[in-house]
Amino acid sequence: MTFTLSSFKSLTLLYTVSLLTPLVITEPAKAANFNNTSIQTQVQPLYRTTGNPDDYLVSPGTGYDGVAQLSLGDFWGSSCTGGLLGTGAHILTAAHCLTDDFGKLDVWDGTATFDLSTGDVNLSIADIFVHDDWTGDLSNGYDIAILELTDVAPDTVDRYDIYRNNNEVGKIGDKVGYGQSGNGNVGNEFWDGLKRSGQNRYDASGDLFNQLLSDNFSDALLAYDFDNGLAANDAFGYWFGDDYADLGLGLNEVNSALGDSGSPTFIDGAIAGVTSFGLRVYYLNGISSDIDDALNSSFGEFSFDSRASSYTNWIDDILTRWQPPTPPVVDNPGDDVDENLPSDDDVADDPIDNTPDDEIHDHPDDSIGDDSPSDPVSVPEPRSLAGLIAFATGLWLTKKKKVIR
């Protein structure tokens, strides 16, 4: 038996591991030889649809304006997705979008873009929080991170809470993300930078896969498959039996793909899952629930989300430690009066020079140091205000897209 494991990050990495049956995965980034069985691991993101991809486009003002496209500054120029949290200054996304294969941070800057009816709003990333237990091992969980923005998003941008119950399995989630698109019959086909949505049902927590793969799959993962209504391509029914058989949601069903990494899955309007990776399982002779022979988000594949309810304490700790930016102090124009200018009282007390014009010294040099009352009154010259202009340089990331699923 063989399986392919894939995260939905822009950069695609491929590993091959020979395994015993049942399959055992030690670490996705390592290879070990056992028998003539292979496991493939790759990173990719974007939503695949059951029907025409154009029918799944998300318009501004429909409740998903807080789902942002992330342009990340790393060697490749990655593209991911994230959901805006309640502070308006933090985005929940996937850790693998921001790190290398060993969980080490490899992103140095980035931009979150919110698509609004009034136009795009771009906010820079000020800080990055990756879960301390994230090691780059997708099946072990902890693929979760928070981005802190330099500014609070406009009030018109939707904010989302975390789904805090652990009853997600069996529930239908609304999935929203930016990523490659296409039809489930052929998998990933194109990337147009547009936001799409659809639904899928959480069929099990990740630890169920320890029965099939003998690996350390975490229960902090939520698993689902991509159904087309045929039993032959029902991944859960095919590999786990009738107790898990489910032919899907018809045309509403979608699957995550390259570029969807970090995208939210909503239950009752709250973020229940964060898109992490995909999985393809097959026998050495090629037989599989997958409709084709590649890990490409097509019908018959598995996908996994990080389970937000498993990380509520970690998320809450970061948000509660945040201090909202202090509004700038606007000076009262009346407070800017030059203190060196004479007051009305001072002017009234000054002696008035009644010297006739024809008695004023014709030669300025003759009046230097002269204390006579005929000296002209010296009035301070008005101060010239020094204008300081601050230039803000915006960095627009135009690097090659690295799709992460």
How many other CB atoms sit within 10 Å of the CB of residue 221? Answer: 26
pLDDT given at position 31: 23
pLDDT given at position 379: 27
pLDDT-derived band at 265 (thresholds 50, 70, 90) equals very high
pLDDT given at position 364: 39
Instruction: Record the tokens describing residue 173, joined without a space.
Output: 């989630």
pLDDT given at position 32: 23
Report the chain's C-alpha Rg in angstroms.
32
What residue type is 161 in one-letter code?
A: D
Q: What is the mean pLDDT of the chain?
A: 76
Cα–Cα separations (whole angstroms), residue 224 to 64, 83, 144, 291, 306? 22, 20, 18, 16, 12
Least confident segment among 2-6, 57-61, 105-109, 360-364? 360-364
Looking at per-residue pLDDT, the higher value among 250 and 21 belongs to 250
CA atoms within 13 A on the CB side of 272: 24
pLDDT given at position 74: 63
Between β-strands 204-205 and 221-225, what pairing exists: parallel, antiparallel or unpaired?
A: antiparallel
Asked if residue 288 has pLDDT above 50, the reply is: yes
Asked if residue 71 has pLDDT above 50, the reply is: yes
- Number of residues assigned to the chain: 405
- What's the average model confidence in pLDDT over 55-78? 88
- Three-state DSSP state, 285: coil
Asked if residue 159 has pLDDT above 80, the reply is: yes
Asked if residue 89 has pLDDT above 90, the reply is: yes
First-last CA distance in the chain? 24
Structural element, H or E, at residue 150: none
pLDDT given at position 229: 95
For the chain, give every domain's residue range: 2-325
| pTM score of the predicted model | 0.73
pLDDT given at position 215: 76
CA atoms within 13 A on the CB side of 251: 6
pLDDT given at position 247: 96
Buried b or exposed e, range 15-48, using 16+ CB within 10 angstroms: bebebeeebbbebbbeeeeeeebbbbbbbbbbbb
Asked if residue 81 has pLDDT above 90, the reply is: yes
Residues sharing a CB contact under 8 Å with residue 342, sequence separation 6 or more, in sequence order: 350, 379, 380
pLDDT given at position 54: 79
pLDDT given at position 76: 62
pLDDT given at position 108: 86
- What's the average model confidence in pLDDT over 166-183? 91
Looking at per-residue pLDDT, the higher value among 400 and 221 belongs to 221
pLDDT-derived band at 334 (thresholds 50, 70, 90) equals low
Instruction: Record the tokens describing residue 362, joined without a space.
Output: 């014709």
Please write the tens of the pLDDT for every residue from 335-374. 554 555 555 555 444 444 444 444 434 443 443 344 433 3
- What's the average model confidence in pLDDT over 230-248? 97
- What's the average model confidence in pLDDT over 58-64? 96
- What's the average model confidence in pLDDT over 5-28? 33
pLDDT given at position 135: 96
Asked if residue 270 has pLDDT above 70, the reply is: yes
Write the CATH number of the domain with boundaries 2-325.
2.40.10.10
Asked if residue 283 has pLDDT above 70, the reply is: yes
pLDDT given at position 329: 72
